[in-house]
């Protein structure tokens, strides 16, 4: 399956995503400049901690960009329905097109998305079958990056030895306290928000229920076959290799799942 680019024209989504990119850039450049490199040069921390920081930041950015531009599972106007699977399709009452069950019509994007979870303004895209795994990686690496930044901010003031070499002529050094306070505020805000979102996403995957299905109460526990959590996560990430669940650079291949499991709604 080739990479399908999807771009949503939505000024509100552009503003939200622009804010996320600003927070990322702010921490990507200022945390190393103020904390990591000075303490590394004076021997307070090993260089591997800097490599880990940049690794988490790059993974976070890649997951953000790919989740934003990847087609979430938009249905074509004339889908080819395999023989024997028509009972698992239904007619959308908004766009009058056939769609698989568990699909949903996004009013903001104007089309149906396979197994749509929700429309996220922070990535300016729907979260659906083909980019849900990237959205989970984005939540995971954003949480890691926020924790990493907050941990080093705390250690910089309360644990590490004071820096001996400081160039007070630099803007970031003269205004270090204000810069770090803003970084801490953004880090705490992101951490609290992402933790709640990530938790609800994980519970949804474990119970094999999307956010839209939870809100509409259309999934009855009695009528839904239970699947092990390894199976539900493998279906979302497109692989049973758990190490690949954390790699945002790869290409997802959907797993072939029996239809009595995949279409139980």
User: CA quadruple 138, 234, 196, 141: dihedral positive or negative?
Assistant: negative
Which residues pair with residue 111 across a beta bridge? 106
Rounded Cα–Cα distance for residues 225 and 143 (Å): 32
Identify whether 147 is a catalytic site residue. Answer: no
Q: Do residues 116 and 126 make contact, with C-beta atoms less than 8 angstroms apart?
A: yes
- Look-up: residue for tokens 């996403």? 201
**Total H helices, total E strands in the chain:** 9, 6
Q: Do residues 225 and 265 make contact, with C-beta atoms less than 8 angstroms apart?
A: no
User: CA quadruple 258, 261, 262, 265: dihedral positive or negative?
Assistant: positive
Rounded Cα–Cα distance for residues 144 and 247 (Å): 14
Beta-carbon-side half-sphere exposure of residue 241 (alpha carbons within 13 Å): 7
Written as six digits, the tokens of 55 are 């690794």
Choose, from 60, 109, 112, 120, the residue flagged as catalytic.
Answer: 120
Catalytic residues: 120
């Amino acid at each position: 399956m080739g990479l399908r680019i999807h771009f949503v024209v939505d000024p509100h989504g552009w503003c939200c995503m622009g804010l996320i990119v600003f927070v990322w850039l702010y921490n990507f450049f200022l945390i190393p400049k103020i904390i990591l490199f000075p303490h590394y040069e004076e021997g307070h921390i090993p260089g591997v901690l800097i490599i880990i920081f940049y690794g988490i930041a790059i993974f976070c950015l890649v997951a953000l960009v790919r989740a934003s531009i990847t087609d979430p599972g938009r249905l074509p106007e004339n889908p080819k329905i395999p023989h024997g699977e028509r009972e698992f399709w239904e007619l959308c009452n908004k766009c009058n097109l056939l769609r698989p069950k568990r699909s949903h019509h996004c009013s903001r994007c104007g089309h149906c998305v396979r197994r749509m979870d929700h429309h996220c303004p922070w990535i300016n895209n729907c979260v659906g079958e083909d980019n849900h795994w990237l959205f989970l990686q984005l939540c995971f690496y954003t949480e890691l990056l926020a924790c990493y930044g907050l941990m080093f901010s705390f250690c910089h003031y309360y644990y590490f030895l004071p820096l001996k070499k400081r160039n007070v002529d630099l803007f970031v050094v003269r205004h270090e306290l204000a810069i770090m306070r803003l970084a801490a505020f953004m880090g705490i805000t992101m951490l609290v928000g992402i933790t709640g979102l990530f938790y609800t996403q994980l519970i949804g995957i474990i119970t094999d229920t999307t956010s839209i299905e939870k809100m509409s109460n259309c999934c009855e526990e009695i009528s839904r076959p239970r699947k092990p959590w390894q199976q539900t996560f493998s279906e979302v990430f497109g692989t049973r290799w758990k190490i690949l669940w954390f790699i945002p650079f790869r290409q997802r291949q959907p797993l072939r799942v029996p239809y009595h499991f995949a279409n139980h709604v």
